[in-house]
Amino acid sequence: MSTKIVIAGGFGAGKTTLVGSVSEIPPVTTEAVMTEASRAHDDTSATPQKVTTTVAMDFGRLTLDRELIMYMFGTPGQARFWFMWDDLVRGAVGAVIVVDSRRLADCFDAVDYFEKNQNIPYVIALNKFDGQLEYTPDEIREALEISPDVPIIDFDARDRRSSGNVLKRLLEYTLSRPKSAELVG
């Protein structure tokens, strides 16, 4: 059996890094070099070393056991590429919203998207840049206005085990939801 999950979030939050850190195959990425034109649209002040950006999607695979293979689809983070989200999300059993707490507002649109698509459970994954978070999980829950049952996990997208824990928590959360809740929407 296979399952599809989506890795979403704002520009430069760590989506491509998460997919790459856990994928058992070389991840397929659509990274393009950022041009001066894109810099006018994408705030790189918190990530000055960022020189590429996802323009379509990332793709990775993780075999959990003989019975279950997880396919990961990473969304582009910039608003100008959001038209692809509906296609990337179709058929997904859950989503991870990767958050850079230094730029919390960048994830609001992703949260809104999954709140409106209530049949897709999601978790919030706080990527710890430089090993720290700017806000506590409770402060982030309040700022994002998400329900108390939505899991918030802090992690390091570069670390395979840490990223794997996020995916594990998403699957646990998805499986724990009542079947009727999955059909709402």
- The residue extents of the domains of the chain are 2-30+56-176
Question: Could you tell me the mean pLDDT of each successive run of 10 residues in the chain, 185 residues long?
Answer: 92 91 86 54 54 66 89 80 80 95 89 88 93 88 94 96 96 84 42
Instruction: Give the DSSP letter string of 108-154.
Output: HHHHHHHHHSTTS-EEEEEE-BTTB-SS-HHHHHHHHT--TTS-EEE
What pLDDT digit, counting tens, does each position of 13-29 carry?
A: 999 999 999 999 988 77
Class of domain 2-30+56-176 (CATH, top level) = alpha beta
Strands of the sheet with 2-9, listed across from one edge: 28-33, 52-65, 68-74, 2-9, 94-100, 122-127, 152-155
Q: What is the pLDDT of residue 95?
A: 97
How far apart CA 63 and CA 75 sit, in angstroms, is 21
CB 126 within 8 A of CB 150: no
What pLDDT digit, counting tens, does each position of 92-113 carry?
A: 999 999 999 888 898 999 999 9
Closest CA to 79 of 128, 122, 113, 47: 113
Regarding pTM above 0.75, the answer is yes
Q: What is the pLDDT of residue 23?
A: 96
